[in-house]
Amino acid sequence: MSRVHVDTSNLSRSCNEALILGSLRGGARHGYQLALEIEERSKGMFGFNHGTLYPILHRLEKAGLISGSWSEDGGGRRRKSYELTRKGEKHTRELLEAWDEFLDAFHEAVKGERP
Amino acid sequence: MSWKRDVLREIDARLDLPQPARSRVILEIAADLEDTSRMLTERGLSLDEAREQATRRFEPSGDALREISAVHAAGLQRFLGRFSGASRRRWERVLLVLLFLFLLLGTRVLLPAPDLFASAGPGLLAVVTVTVGALLLSALKLYEAFVRQRQDSRRMRRGLDWILGLAGVDVFVGLSAFWLGLYGVAGRSTEDPATSLLYLFEWLVEGTATAILALQAAVLLSLLWYLLSRRTETVARFEAEALMAAD
């Protein structure tokens, strides 16, 4: 059993966090890139309103799981991108394992087996 | 009319956050809003459709904005959040006036008493070194903010908290010197009890002189930090407003 657990009392939030952390395993991303990537990879199943995205990103940043850094593009415009910290990498590994266990248990409960 | 302005203004109006966190959030959203719209036009949408879709994606919900505020609010901010903005500003002014009076009073006591510097103990050297360093940094920041009138809040903020940190070091050094002096006196008194009273008076003069000078330096540095922080916040607010006005 992994140490990190899926927070079943707030599944929506827990799911969003896992989606964001999982996406960031591919490298640093801007907020809008994260939202689009999740939407595309899930074939539209998980659509992020950006209003929902920022509180999660900022909460994860405050928890030290991701770090945000500002950069300037050629036109002098500042943009913020996020990447996983070492603590975040470990947490994400454990969280995704926890989600696997959660989904196994869910399928076991509703269907008797995982498809 | 700017298409971005309405979205950002709405966020700004509903976001209960102090500067500079407020400007940073708006800056981040503004950049993402622009990028989303550009990406949608690259995918074949017309400019109007892309802007409309991007705006819809960024439409902030009250819960989301409250959550952002909750994430960024420190304990002190949560406490201050109970007071209205006007009330907070009024108390800030009162505090500033009190600090200036304290400094003026201190200067009036210090200037006619140069002996205070001569009486201070060896901790004074550390206090002077730290204070001179912090004053040089403050002078540089003041020059950037008020002479060159730099309009880049991120750059202005860089190193600013060092001034406050060094003020804290002054307080630490002053108070440590005071109590370490007492420890030394206690040791010497044990060895030679006959002169213990003399040592005690020496410590009182040295220790209090050092502590007073260290506290005065800390108050001066704190005032400079406050002045520069307010200026930086003002610049950050202008940046956010300019962003909202930009098309």
Give pLDDT tens digits for A54-100: 888 988 998 899 998 888 777 667 788 899 999 999 999 999 999 99
Residue A112 has pLDDT above 80, yes or no: no
Residue A2 has pLDDT above 60, yes or no: no
Task: Tell whether A3 is covered by a domain.
Answer: no
Whether A50 and B154 lie within 8 Å, measured CB to CB: no
Spans of all domains in chain B: 3-80, 113-242
> Looking at this predicted complex, what is its ipTM?
0.81
Whether A30 and B71 lie within 8 Å, measured CB to CB: no
Q: What is the number of structural domains in chain A?
A: 1
| pLDDT tens string A14-62 | 898 999 999 999 899 888 888 888 888 888 888 777 677 888 898 899 8
DSSP state of B83: S
Q: To the nearest whole angstrom, how far is the Cα of B19 from the nearest Cα of chain A? A: 16
Q: Which two structure tokens, joined as six digits, stand for B73? A: 């609010």
Whether B32 and A49 lie within 8 Å, measured CB to CB: no
Q: Which residues of A touch B25 (CB under 8 A)?
A: 54, 58
Whether A54 and B72 lie within 8 Å, measured CB to CB: no
Cα separation values, A10 from A15, A99, B72, B108, B125, Å: 9, 14, 21, 61, 57
What pLDDT score was predicted for residue B1? 46
- What order of strands is seen across the sheet that includes strand A78-84? A29-30, A78-84, A66-72
What pLDDT score was predicted for residue B165? 93
Task: Tell whether A2 is covered by a domain.
Answer: no
Task: Tell whether A76 is covered by a domain.
Answer: yes
Domain that holds residue A104: 8-111
Three-state SS at B152? coil
Residues of chain B with pLDDT under 70: 1-2, 19-20, 59-60, 73-89, 103, 106-114, 241-247
Task: Tell whether A17 is covered by a domain.
Answer: yes
Task: Tell whether A14 is covered by a domain.
Answer: yes
What pLDDT score was predicted for residue B86? 65
Q: To the nearest whole angstrom, how far is the Cα of A7 from the nearest Cα of chain B? A: 18
The residues, ordered by sequence, that sit 6+ positions from B77 with a Cβ below 8 Å of its Cβ are B18
A13: domain CATH number?
A: 1.10.10.10
